[in-house]
A and B are shown apart, each in its own frame.
Chain A
């Protein structure tokens, strides 16, 4: 399977606990995006990486959220001190930017991690 994978697929946690999600992008893709999707809504951008550099963070990404992509391959998204409002589907997507000044085309999405905070 050469698609985007995410782990775990489902996570139930109690309020106040920390959680970490993992995303493995398509291997040759240098861009990786995190989105959050709540019920009945489309995905909303959280942050993105170009290789290992985190280049932009949405205002949706509070201080409790941190993302890494240490070697420019897989990425992790950690949520500290979870709140019930964090309950959502967290989607990862990857794409290929073809060089400086070149835009990337479509993004390929993973299956998502569904987080439920009780």
Chain B
């Protein structure tokens, strides 16, 4: 079974600084997707960034980028120029790319990010 581990329950960053959130996963599959979701205090999950395992290039979305290390099964999220609105719970998630799979997400336990003004 696939598992996702986020070893940092809490992180904090100074506004305008850079922070990196860690995520490791365990799978025997070769094709899959990885995601970072943000869950602000209002609790609605919002997709931050997606990475396809077959792509070697790391995904980027504006101030958000990932460091995907497939051999190490590591998928970290870097937030540059942190803003107060980035404060939230961040969840790393895994989804199989197998055909005819239910494609349910496997989530880590989350990292609570605090942004200090």
Interface string of B79-117 (1 = CB under 8 A from A): 000000000000101000111111111111110000000
Tell me the smallest distance from the CB of B45 to a CB of chain A, in Å: 4
49-92 of chain B: CB within 8 A of chain A: 50, 91
Nearest residue, chain A, Cβ from B44: A111
Is the Cβ of A41 less than 8 Å from the Cβ of B44?
no
Is the Cβ of A41 less than 8 Å from the Cβ of B110?
yes
Is the C-beta of A85 less than 8 angstroms from some C-beta in chain B?
A: no
Complex CA gap A68/B42 in Å reads 27
Most chain B CB neighbours (cut-off 10 Å) among A42, A93, A108: A42
> Residue A105 contacts which of B42, B46, B50, B107 (CB distance < 8 angstroms)?
B50
Is the C-beta of B47 less than 8 angstroms from some C-beta in chain A?
A: yes
Is the Cβ of A91 less than 8 Å from the Cβ of B110?
no
> Residue B103 contacts which of A104, A110, A111 (CB distance < 8 angstroms)?
A104
Chain B, interface size category, equals: 20 to 34
**Do A43 and B105 contact each other (CB < 8 Å), given the known contacts A101-B100, A106-B35?**
yes
Complex CA gap A104/B95 in Å reads 10
> Residue A109 contacts which of B45, B104, B110 (CB distance < 8 angstroms)?
B45
Provide the residues of chain A in CB contact with B106, threshold 8 Å: 45
> Residue B105 contacts which of A40, A45, A97, A101 (CB distance < 8 angstroms)?
A45
Complex CA gap A109/B43 in Å reads 10
Complex CA gap A48/B102 in Å reads 7
**Do A55 and B102 contact each other (CB < 8 Å), given the known contacts A89-B43, A105-B50, A112-B44?**
yes
Residues of B within 8 A of A (CB): 4, 33, 35, 37, 42-47, 50, 91, 93, 97-110
Residues of A within 8 A of B (CB): 31, 33, 35, 40-45, 48, 55-56, 89, 91, 93, 95, 97, 101-112, 114
Q: Which are the 7 A-B pairs with shortest beta-carbon distances?
A: A42-B107, A109-B45, A45-B104, A111-B44, A56-B102, A101-B99, A42-B91
Supply 20 further A-B pairs (C-beta < 8 A) apart from A44-B107, A102-B99, A106-B50. A33-B104, A40-B109, A42-B4, A42-B91, A42-B107, A43-B107, A45-B105, A45-B106, A48-B104, A93-B105, A101-B99, A101-B100, A103-B99, A104-B103, A105-B50, A106-B33, A106-B35, A107-B105, A108-B47, A114-B43
